[in-house]
Amino acid sequence: MEYTNLGRTGLKVSRLCLGTMNFGPQTDEDKSHAIMDQAVDLGINFFDTADVYGWELGEGITEQIIGRWFAKGEGKRDRVVLATKVYGRMGEGPNERRLSAKHIRQACENSLRRLNTDYIDLYQMHHVDRETPWEEIWQAMEQLVSQGKVLYVGSSNFAGLHIAQAQFSAKERHFLGLVSEQSLYNLIDRMIELELVPACREFGLGIIPYSPLAGGLLGGVLEKESTGRRSSDSVKKGMEEYSEQIRTYEAFCKELGEEPANVALAWLLANPAVTAPIIGPRTSEQLDASVKSLEIDFSDEQLVKLNNLWPGPGGEAPEAYAW
């Protein structure tokens, strides 16, 4: 396993991050625990979750599954850099969502209880909250850090503007501020290259891409279809929209002798701004296969082919739209 710093911090995390969103809804607890055991054995020390995962209001099902895994002992908690999130609706009350100081405090306490731990390594704001001033958000986060309940703060689904606002506000308070941003990013969805990637690079945030396989479209869908596997409606729609590109992409991967899913992950890993793509295996076999992505090195010509096949927004702003 390879490791890198999380943004500008001294914290070392694995180049692959174990996403746990499937734990509960699609993967039962025993299999989820087995996948976490396997991830640690493979050297993956970076786990990502959220209080809303499990999708039962206020229950935090996925966090509970992880917490019961930690409770097994054997040093499991100490071996993991644990990331969770705050923002989503966790109850019927008006203050049981978003980023008020009240909700941040209560949500953190509830996550700590469910996760069976006394601290969170990376506490991520799941979305931007335009209704709450940064002074309030940072004061709440500073208190959690001073109490030792949170070590680092990150964001998710922010725009470049929000990163800048957050960091300037944190700097005024002599606070570290954001150290990472978790965004939708893959060969098909490249919009963040326009302004978010430059902002993260400027302010020293590590980028943690989610949906690196574009919901499965970059995971070898044509081959799976040929073996009789059924695709979801969203994947079918994507296959219709990108049919020619997917066909060319899978042919390219075949020439490389690599699985399409691993090529998609390796493309992200080749970007210096990326810390660790989030992989969300439903089975142990999927987890094992994903590690192969760390061994793929592209030539300049191969990267050009991929970028031409799946063009982004045209580069970074303002050159992409003004020059």
Q: What is the pLDDT of residues 112-148, one digit of tens each?
A: 999 999 999 999 999 999 999 999 999 999 999 999 9
Asked whether residue 227 carries a pLDDT value surpassing 80, the answer given is no
The pLDDT of residue 284: 87
From 3, 53, 210, 321, the catalytic residue: 53
Give the Cβ contact number of residue 55 at 10 Å: 12
Residue ranges and CATH numbers for the domains of the chain are 3-216+261-298 (3.20.20.100)
Whether the pTM exceeds 0.85: the reply is: yes
Q: Does 53 qualify as catalytic in the annotation?
A: yes
Calpha distance 34→32 (Å, rounded): 5
Reported as a single tens digit per residue, the pLDDT across 89-103 is 999 999 999 999 999
Calpha distance 315→323 (Å, rounded): 11
The pLDDT of residue 192: 98
The pLDDT of residue 226: 59
Asked whether residue 297 carries a pLDDT value surpassing 70, the answer given is yes
Q: Please name the residue ranges forming H helices in 71-186.
A: 101-115, 134-146, 160-172
My answer on whether omega of the bond before 318 falls inside 30° of 0, hence cis, is yes
Asked whether residue 110 carries a pLDDT value surpassing 90, the answer given is yes
Q: What is the mean pLDDT of residues 60-73?
A: 97
User: Which of 143, 193, 235, 137 lies closest to 319, judged by CA?
Assistant: 193
Q: What is the mean pLDDT of residues 165-170?
A: 98
The pLDDT of residue 81: 98
